[in-house]
Amino acid sequence: MSIGGEPGRLFPQVTERSGYRYFFYQKHHGWGGTEAAQWATDVGEEEEFGIFNQADLFDLTDHQGSLYGIRLRLDPERRVLVLGTLGQQVAKFPEARTAPHWHGFPLGPLQKNLDTPHPPERPLPRDALQKMVDARLLTNPERKRLLKGKII
């Protein structure tokens, strides 16, 4: 299947809260160039959709409506796992409320300035991060570490 000329796969379920559909672009799953962030190979489709579903469930949005998620493991001990091939621990799902589906990719911890005409790539915004703390997905020290661009 392809959407907009880009190959990928639509996940068969929709999110619990908003009924969003989710599309796995191949470019973020080992088939993209160096400019496309890649999901870690040990994140399966079920788990990737689960991260998106959790982001929607807790409404982890920034002021522009994009969603953000983390890969939280609770057993045998609580840890926030790496979800991208470059050690990223946050996923961004760009705002797509009026589009037929959403998609997501690992988001780096630092602001990157890209060549024009691209805008800078910004790390997890403060408003979405605070919602993760309010939802008790993250602790306050973890919030501060993400604000510092550090691993949690």
- Residues in contact with another protein by the rule CB under 8 A: 34, 77, 79-80, 82, 86-87, 108-113, 120, 122-123, 139-142, 144-145, 147-152
Pair 89, 82: CB distance under 8 Å:
yes
Residue 51 or 146: which CB sits closer to another protein?
A: 146
Q: Where are the beta strands (DSSP E) in 40-142?
A: 67-73, 79-81, 90-93, 105-107
For the bound state, the minimum distance from the C-beta of residue 100 to another protein, rounded and expressed in Å, comes to: 32
C-alpha 108/C-alpha 89 separation (Å) is 8
Residue 148 CB burial class (10 angstroms; 0-12, 13-18, ≥19): exposed
For the bound state, the minimum distance from the C-beta of residue 92 to another protein, rounded and expressed in Å, comes to: 15
For the bound state, the minimum distance from the C-beta of residue 109 to another protein, rounded and expressed in Å, comes to: 6
C-alpha 61/C-alpha 74 separation (Å) is 23
Residue 66 or 88: which CB sits closer to another protein?
A: 88
Residue 98 or 116: which CB sits closer to another protein?
A: 116
For the bound state, the minimum distance from the C-beta of residue 36 to another protein, rounded and expressed in Å, comes to: 13
